Structure 1
């Protein structure tokens, strides 16, 4: 059976034979060979913009029409997977709006299939991540509204988590989006997310809370009024290490930015429940194996910092030497710089060392110059063979 498609083995042999210098291209390609070569190359070349336009056309087609043509939800997911690969480039992400693909993509956030809603949110997250231009375009297209709707009320927890991930990327270093999130009662939705039983949802919510509190310290009052400390204290005893760290990080942020009665000592520092939880974590950390202690580095430091902030004294972890383990504060050995040193610089350095070494070998002994003038010493007898005692003898006779 004949092989279908280009003969890649033949193409490789042809390329090598004309590029290794042993067989210079002394003959001209025939038109047939040239056409075959161009077809082989074009078969593996993708016009990204053209492909994105084709995907946009599909996204603009009503769902009922696609279903009547045999397009399944899995086909749509695969198409969105491909689109996500294309928009990983910032230029392609910004071009998606230019070719009319951003609005129908946001429309997929309202699709009847939960998997498509989740995948669409994931693509949006890729588009706006570290991309101020696309962040602005999504905000102008009112993209935050369906994301908030899915985050707060989607019946599928994966779709809710992906929507929160897209919101996290959208509000990053984006003050208008942060303001819109706050006005849409986003903090209340984050509190509900913390009460979820889904660990990934909890992790994402804790990360967003930490970022928002760092950006706006005054929001510590808001989250305290909404009851976040109580929920975070509960999560500080979670079986998931990342959830524990996120909860401890949030509690530490609140304790360090306390102001007035809302976030004062009555709700954080003197809370007996918090003290019991921290003592429980100290006991748990103290009983960890060396391997687990290494993995729990951030948790160890968070527990100690929170204890010190709330009770003005170091935790017992510090007394046991478990806050910073031996060797953790030491700089790693420099084993790579000499291997990655620019060759020219290394050659110059070695040459300079050789030159200095050679100069040291050829350097003449240091000669002392004449000192300051002094009184002439008494005249000495020029006869080197004079006997002792004859120096002052009168020889004029």
Structure 2
């Protein structure tokens, strides 16, 4: 009885089923002759494979059902007389559909399937501009889930104009969660993708990050600073462009705001803009900026705080590069 119960514990993936099929086909280890699989074991394996297959089919079908719920809105809004209760029920159903799709599309094959099924166009045309903020941010989150580490989907999203819309939401949506999720989707489109970076530059993406770091939304400030640091690290050829925008002055002004953990990324970005960038170095050394005193005070404040060690390291590194002492050749040359 116990053995039968154990046999019924189906593995969770096809590899496990195949492994058990091999084991089921061998009645003994070693060189002994193989015995035929028992009828009971054959039945178990048939059922297990059916369960796996059913799960795979239902996953695609589930995605189609979710898209049907999301596509239904256009018709229902046209036909309905504005019943509030029905609106609320429909919104709940659509939010649930987005959540299911986002979970499913963590799997790269499902992300590709959603693209083929037209789900990304639906997000862009109908939901990134939806009146309900809960649907806007869930649409942005789904785009991010699909785009992450998936060049084929990234290129498709760029081709249908997703990036300008996402940058617009990041920059000016009235709901803070929408702005954060939109920036997450932007990050998934531009990091480690040259075409994405070029589209980002064409749409003045660095200015969007600059304004994001100056917003009142802590998450948006943090993610904006992190993406700026990542892009400058990955694409040092963009330093001159960023410096010419006055980014050094803007970053220093951000450092003067009440201290926050995201200042670590701001200091890291300043370090990037100083290294191998003469204008960035000159901007940091401009006495009117008061950066030297700011860095001295920040280093003093961070001493002994283990959780701020990386920020302190950036702070000291920036001090050494910008204000190394009167005998420094660099100091004399750049002044």
TM interval, shorter chain, is 0.7 to 0.9
Task: Please state how far the C-alpha of 1:175 moved relative to its aligned partner.
Answer: 1.3
Q: Give me the whole-angstrom Cα distance separating, in 2, the residues matched to 1:100 and 1:72.
A: 21
Pairs aligned (count): 293
Q: 1:62 and 2:67 equivalent?
A: no
Q: 1:311 and 2:320 equivalent?
A: no
Q: Give me the whole-angstrom Cα distance separating, in 2, the residues matched to 1:226 and 1:178.
A: 17
2:110 to 92, 104, 107: 92
Paired position in structure 2 for 1:284:
301
Q: Give me the whole-angstrom Cα distance separating, in 1, the residues matched to 2:240 and 2:165.
A: 28
Paired position in structure 1 for 2:330:
none
Structure 1: give runs of 5+ residues left out of the alignment.
Answer: 1-8, 314-397
Paired position in structure 1 for 2:284:
268
Q: Give me the whole-angstrom Cα distance separating, in 2, the residues matched to 1:12 and 1:241.
A: 56
Paired position in structure 1 for 2:239:
220
Distance 1:145 1:26, change over 3 A: closer
Distance 1:12 1:200, change over 3 A: same
1:144 to 154, 163, 179: 163
Q: Does the 8 A contact of 1:90 with 1:127 survive in 2?
A: yes
Task: Please state how far the C-alpha of 1:191 moved relative to its aligned partner.
Answer: 1.6
1:175 to 194, 200, 211: 194
Q: Give me the whole-angstrom Cα distance separating, in 2, the residues matched to 1:210 and 1:14.
A: 53
CA deviation map 1:62-118 (0-9, x unaligned): 346169565432322221111011110111111111122221122311111112111
Higher helix share: 2
Distance 1:12 1:235, change over 3 A: farther
Deviates more, 1:96-105 or 1:218-227: 218-227
DSSP-derived class of the 1:179 partner: helix
Q: Give me the whole-angstrom Cα distance separating, in 2, the residues matched to 1:263 and 1:232.
A: 12
Q: Give me the whole-angstrom Cα distance separating, in 2, the residues matched to 1:137 and 1:75.
A: 27
Structure number with bigger Rg:
1
Q: TM-score, normalised by structure 1?
A: 0.64
Q: Give me the whole-angstrom Cα distance separating, in 2, the residues matched to 1:43 and 1:198.
A: 45
1:50 to 43, 61, 64: 61
Task: Please state how far the C-alpha of 1:264 moved relative to its aligned partner.
Answer: 4.4
1:315-326 to 2 correspondence within 5 Å?
none
Task: Please state how far the C-alpha of 1:61 moved relative to its aligned partner.
Answer: 2.3
1:129 to 131, 148, 151: 148
Q: Give me the whole-angstrom Cα distance separating, in 2, the residues matched to 1:76 and 1:169.
A: 23
Q: Does the 8 A contact of 1:111 with 1:117 survive in 2?
A: yes
1:1-397 to 2 correspondence within 5 Å?
12=5, 15=8, 41=51, 45=55, 47-63=58-74, 65=76, 68=80, 71-107=89-125, 108-239=127-258, 241-259=260-278, 262-265=279-282, 267-271=283-287, 273-286=290-303, 288=304, 293-312=305-324
CA deviation map 1:24-74 (0-9, x unaligned): x98879xxx99xx79x95899361111111112222223461695654323
Task: Please state how far the C-alpha of 1:206 moved relative to its aligned partner.
Answer: 0.9
Task: Please state how far the C-alpha of 1:127 moved relative to its aligned partner.
Answer: 0.8
Q: Does the 8 A contact of 1:236 with 1:245 survive in 2?
A: no
Q: Which has the higher contact order (CA 8 A, sep 6+)?
A: 2
CA deviation map 1:204-262 (0-9, x unaligned): 11122122223433432332332322221133345554311011011111111323xx4
Q: Give every structure 1 segment of 4 or more consecutive aligned residues whose post-TM-superposition deviation is greater than 6 Å.
A: 25-29
Q: Does the 8 A contact of 1:237 with 1:281 survive in 2?
A: no
